[in-house]
């Protein structure tokens, strides 16, 4: 269940990063078609970092609670 919540958190972060990246690109004057690949890469990277960080923190917490 906790890994599902990590995945859900990653999807939420992906959506927010995607939306913000598109809005920033539009505000700078370039259309969404020109920066679409970069926006998707940034969003996927953000989501991956959040999921991996949450898993690492959970693993560290589990290992230190027993000591």
The pLDDT of residue 8 is: 87
Q: Is there a domain that residue 65 lies in?
A: no
Residue 1 tokens, joined = 């269940």
Q: Is residue 38 part of a domain?
A: yes
Counted domains in the chain: 1
21 found inside a domain: yes
Q: Considering the entire predicted model, what is its pTM?
A: 0.65
In a domain, residue 66? The reply is no
Q: How far is CA 22 from the centre of its chain?
A: 15
pLDDT score recorded for residue 65: 74
The answer, yes or no, to whether residue 4 has pLDDT greater than 70, is yes
DSSP 4-40: HHHHHHHHHHHHHHHHHHHHHHHHTT--HHHHHHHHH
pLDDT tens per residue, range 10-37: 888 888 887 887 777 677 776 666 667 7
Q: Which structural domain, as residue segments, surrounds residue 54? A: 2-60
> What's the pLDDT score for residue 23?
77
């Amino acid at each position: 269940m906790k890994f599902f919540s990590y995945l859900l958190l990653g999807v939420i972060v992906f959506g927010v990063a995607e939306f913000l990246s598109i809005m920033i690109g539009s505000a700078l004057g370039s259309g969404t078609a020109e920066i679409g690949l970069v926006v998707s890469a940034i969003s996927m990277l953000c989501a991956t970092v959040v999921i991996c960080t949450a898993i690492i923190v959970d693993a560290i917490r589990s290992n230190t609670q027993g000591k």
